[in-house]
Structure 1
């Protein structure tokens, strides 16, 4: 199984390396763009959840709300 996967990866890498550079760029942006946006969204959601979990301390300098 690993030999088949390694052969497939080598063929895909060779195909990509032999493409014209603008096509390489378009393919990389088309694949990495959504992946990076998804990772950024996921990180944002995780940070929001952790921030909500820890909560915020009341501001002692401001007057209390009514």
Structure 2
């Protein structure tokens, strides 16, 4: 499944790395591209979207609705 989420409080490369790590804890095989400039996170994963959103929220990076 491919997801594209907007994460408004992703401000820097460290934020992008934290977001990537949060997703990788759910699915080690996930492909994650996080761009602080556009605030977009593109994810290729087998994990349900609700679980990805929950993991990002717990990591302090809640995606926009």
Q: TM-score, normalised by structure 2?
A: 0.25
Q: Which is bigger in relative contact order (C-alpha 8 A, separation at least 6)?
A: 2
**Which protein has the bigger strand share?**
2
**Which protein has the bigger helix share?**
1
Q: TM-score, normalised by structure 1?
A: 0.25
Higher-Rg member (1/2): 1
